[in-house]
Amino acid sequence: MTINEDGAAFDKLDLVKRYFSRIFNTLSKEVREELFELELTKEEFKEIKKELAFLPEKKQKDYLKELKSEKQQKS
């Protein structure tokens, strides 16, 4: 446990978890819905979600469009 500058105690692990949960919640509702439609495995979903989180929304949509196209070609 650590004490911050206000004298309040906090757990570093909780702080790190909150930080990363904010990062990975940067996907718009539309992008998340498109991801769910791809019927990915849990691991694929996590991996793609991590990659998309750091892209602008336009690039996220382009990436998903390409991914959908690739999945359709394999089917």
Residue 72 has what pLDDT? 83
Residue 29 has what pLDDT? 86
> Residue 7 to residues 2, 12, 16, 17, 69: CA-CA distances in angstroms?
9, 15, 19, 21, 54
At 2, give phi and psi (nearest 5°).
-125, 155
Instruction: Give the C-alpha separation, 11 to 34, whole Å.
Output: 35
Residue 53 has what pLDDT? 80
Condensed to tens digits (0 to 9), the pLDDT of residues 11-54 reads: 666 777 776 666 555 788 898 899 888 888 999 988 998 888 87
Task: Tell me the pTM.
Answer: 0.60
Q: Is it the case that residue 60 has pLDDT exceeding 70?
A: yes
